[in-house]
Amino acid sequence: MSEYIIKNGHVFDPVQGIKGDKKDIAIKDGKIVDKVGSGAKVIDAKDKTVMAGAVEIHAHIAGPKVNLGRIYRPEDKLFSCTPTKGMERMGGGASIPTTFKTGYEYAKMGYTTAMEAAMPPLFARHVHEEIRDTPIIDEAAFPVFGNNWFVLEYLKNQEIENTAAYIAWLLRVTKGYAVKVVNPGGTEAWGWGLNCLSVNDPVPYFDITPAEIVSGLIDANEYLGLPHSMHIHPNNLGNPGCYETTLDTLKLAEGKKAKNKFGRESVMHLTHSQFHSYGGTNWGDFESKAKEVTDYVNKNKNITIDTGNVTLDETTTMTADGPFEHHLTGLNHLKWANVDVELETAAGVVPYIYSPNISVCAIQWAIGLEIPLMMKDPMRCYITTDHPNAGPFTRYPRVFKWLMSAKARETQINAFKHKDKVLSQTSIGTLDREISLYELAQMTRAGPAKCLGLGAMCGGLAPGMDADVAVYNFNPDKPVADPEDIEKAFSRCAAVFKSGVQVVSNGDIVSNGNKRTLWVNAKVKDNPQVMRDISEKFIKYYSMTQNNYEALGHHFVPNPYALEVDAT
């Protein structure tokens, strides 16, 4: 493999505590090294910013609901197609790009690892086929557990060990990475025409509460010692006043401690916290509760969050929170698709326009920025758009601009039709914090990597780590004359390396890299009861056989990378 030396760049690396010092980064055999020979290819990074490749902790980029969005929204591709160019295949789609465009766009922005945040286990094969067809970036997928019949039955009887054995089995057969929970119990209730809007609403038939599901899944997660924590989209998403449900959910982590060998300290990851930080009783008195939520998270070190920033775009919402999507189509009257996944989950899809002329959308925009600006520890708060729910991931550079420049926020606030309402219902106008490049590296690299249990592998530039490196045309020594320059610089990298292969040069894709599928191989003690329960469910309930369920082999996972966990 080739050797490279990235010379004279301003390096920002929270893993080593480097805050913009001029430093050379050497790459050899896919890893960061101390030194390379004189024959190494030189990348001139003078007056540029150098960071590790960014890590996406939560996006919907592969699988059946993403593809349903692509199929039922031809208009999303209408004026967003890009023809074949050099290494790049044709691509298309603005909020639900094709797999190829997804890989290219992440890479061009300096992202080298991404998590698909909701894999329906039954459709793991589809998820992995799309991951396989997404070039360059390493990916992993989180199977959803919060409405799964096995989990509901085991946790009703507080059987943590059986839940853990089932999780280990499911991660293995679906090549999954983490325990994802979406509207715990509520999506199952949706199958009965109901929902769970608080942590104490009982799930019909199963007679268990969301609180019991969440608490039990944290315990099972730590029993196994998985790399990532339990990752949750709580009940009552998106409704005025939902922050109380969010706080009730966060409190379920109280007293729980992370047990794992990966350096992860959190036991609960609250995703797209923007959607869960709403006050008020209706859309008229709708207001921000970002302070209440971040106050709690700031005090409780075993919780991490991501933002879910609204980008003020036309987009496509999609979630395994089936009842929420039905509620949303009732609000905006746009087309709705719903899929039930037997025994496991359900999903809905609805297009959405976050208009700067609608006060609710503008307030959502403000809440998404208040949260990271109010979080004291950037290592526990990560930037996402819950792609494509709050906006497309391709808008990250715009979100960075708003976070790094109070002037850019002010310009946007002044452009809102209901500016006064945004200022009265949120505190965005009083926040003058500007996120530094070092903090940005914490929020987009070192932080999410640590939270995912990948802190030793990616998210930093220490020797021995994977050589995932992004070089931006941004000179930190020069004052920012125009905030637009921030957005421009972070949109297209000068150079990107993935596992030591240069994949981007001057904003263009120059290699499809060597993408991997990350998954977790958790070993547990033989558990005949769980194995018997699984085969019984397949015989009695599933419409397919167990052999057709598993996503195994080269076709689905051509380049696997397993993180080994031993819970025997």
Partner 1 sequence: METVTITMKNAPALYLEADNVSPDAFAGKKAAQIAELSVHEGNTTSTLGKYFDVSGDAGATAADTKVVVRGDVKKVKYLGFKMTAGELVIEGTADQYVGAWMKGGKILAKGDIGAFAATAMKGGELTVEGNAGNYLGAAYRGDWRGMSGGKILVKGNAGSDIGMYMLGGEIIVNGNADVHVMTHAEGGKTIIKGNAASKLGGQMVEGTIFVFGSIEVMMPGFKPNGEVELEVDGTKAKFAHFIGDMGERHKKKKGVVVYGNLYKKI
Min dist CB 60 to Zn ion, Å, is 6
Min dist CB 512 to partner 1, Å, is 22
Min dist CB 320 to Zn ion, Å, is 8
Output 73 or 515, the one with its CB closest to partner 1.
73
Count of residues binding Zn ion (CB under 5 A)? 2
Contact 267, 300 (CB under 8 A): no
- The one-letter amino acid at 149: W
φ/ψ bin of 241: left (φ > 0), alpha (ψ from -120 to 50), beta (otherwise): left
Angle subtended at Cα 467 by Cα 557 and Cα 27, rounded to the nearest 5 degrees: 135
Query: What Rg, from alpha-carbon coordinates, does the chain have?
Result: 22
Site for partner 1 in 314-353 (CB under 8 A): 333-335
Contact 283, 240 (CB under 8 A): yes
- The one-letter amino acid at 310: V
Min dist CB 78 to partner 1, Å, is 6
Which of these ranges, 73-81, 211-219, 270-278, 466-474, lies near partner 1 under the rule CB under 8 A? 73-81
Which of these ranges, 66-74, 400-408, 447-455, 535-543, lies near partner 1 under the rule CB under 8 A? 66-74
Min dist CB 479 to Zn ion, Å, is 37
Min dist CB 72 to partner 1, Å, is 7
Count of residues binding partner 1 (CB under 8 A)? 9
Instruction: Report whether the peptide linkage leading into residue 204 is cis, meaning its omega lies within 30 degrees of zero.
Output: no
* Residue 78 near which of partner 1, Zn ion, none (CB within 5-8 Å, type-dependent): partner 1
* Distance between CA atoms of residues 200 and 212, nearest Å: 9
How far is C-alpha 423 from the chain's CA centre? 29
* Distance between CA atoms of residues 519 and 517, nearest Å: 6
Q: What share of the chain is helix, strand, coil (3-state, %, to 5)?
A: 35, 25, 40
Residues in the chain: 568
Output 74 or 284, the one with its CB closest to partner 1.
74
If one asks whether residue 538 binds partner 1 (CB under 8 A), the answer comes out as: no
The token duo for 35 is 């030194």
Min dist CB 349 to partner 1, Å, is 12
Min dist CB 80 to partner 1, Å, is 13
Min dist CB 384 to Zn ion, Å, is 8
* Residue 117 near which of partner 1, Zn ion, none (CB within 5-8 Å, type-dependent): Zn ion
The token duo for 315 is 């987009």
Min dist CB 68 to partner 1, Å, is 12
* Distance between CA atoms of residues 98 and 101, nearest Å: 5
Contact 52, 441 (CB under 8 A): yes
Angle subtended at Cα 31 by Cα 30 and Cα 34, rounded to the nearest 5 degrees: 135
Using CB atoms within 10 Å of the CB of residue 335, give its burial: 0 to 12 exposed, 13 to 18 middle, 19+ buried.
Answer: exposed
Q: Report how far apart, in Å, the C-alpha atoms of 158 and of each of 121, 178, 193, 258, 527 are.
A: 23, 20, 27, 19, 16
Which of these ranges, 70-78, 150-158, 404-412, 457-465, lies near partner 1 under the rule CB under 8 A? 70-78
What track of x and - describes contact with Zn ion for positions 386 through 425 (by CB under 5 A)? x---------------------------------------
* Distance between CA atoms of residues 314 and 326, nearest Å: 19
Given 28, 73, 126, 231, the residue binding partner 1 (CB under 8 A):
73
If one asks whether residue 321 binds Zn ion (CB under 5 A), the answer comes out as: no
Q: Is 352 helix (H, G, I), strand (E, B) or coil?
A: strand
* Distance between CA atoms of residues 380 and 304, nearest Å: 5
* Residue 409 near which of Zn ion, partner 1, none (CB within 5-8 Å, type-dependent): none
If one asks whether residue 531 binds partner 1 (CB under 8 A), the answer comes out as: no
Contact 421, 363 (CB under 8 A): yes
Output 331 or 462, the one with its CB closest to partner 1.
331
With CB atoms as reference, the residue minimizing the distance to Zn ion is 386
Q: For residue 304, what are the contacts with CB-CB under 8 A and spacing of at least 6?
A: 229, 266, 268, 269, 270, 380, 381, 382, 447, 451
The token duo for 37 is 């020979």
Given 29, 75, 377, 536, the residue binding partner 1 (CB under 8 A):
75
Min dist CB 315 to partner 1, Å, is 14
Output 76 or 116, the one with its CB closest to partner 1.
76
If one asks whether residue 117 binds Zn ion (CB under 5 A), the answer comes out as: yes
* Residue 386 near which of Zn ion, partner 1, none (CB within 5-8 Å, type-dependent): Zn ion
Site for partner 1 in 350-409 (CB under 8 A): none
Output 388 or 459, the one with its CB closest to partner 1.
388
**Listed residue (274, 271, 264, 183) closest to 229, CA to CA:** 264
- The one-letter amino acid at 564: E
**Listed residue (158, 247, 133, 232) closest to 198, CA to CA:** 247
Output 56 or 386, the one with its CB closest to Zn ion.
386
Output 358 or 379, the one with its CB closest to partner 1.
358
Given 1, 35, 41, 78, the residue binding partner 1 (CB under 8 A):
78
What track of x and - describes contact with Zn ion for positions 374 through 393 (by CB under 5 A)? ------------x-------
If one asks whether residue 72 binds partner 1 (CB under 8 A), the answer comes out as: yes
* Residue 468 near which of partner 1, Zn ion, none (CB within 5-8 Å, type-dependent): none
The token duo for 549 is 């369920």
Which of these ranges, 117-125, 432-440, 468-476, 538-546, lies near Zn ion under the rule CB under 5 A? 117-125
- The one-letter amino acid at 143: P
The packing angle between helices 64-72 and 124-132, to 10°, is 70
Min dist CB 60 to partner 1, Å, is 19
* Residue 336 near which of Zn ion, partner 1, none (CB within 5-8 Å, type-dependent): none
Please report, as ranges, the residues that interact with Zn ion according to CB under 5 A. 117, 386
Please report, as ranges, the residues that interact with partner 1 according to CB under 8 A. 72-76, 78, 333-335
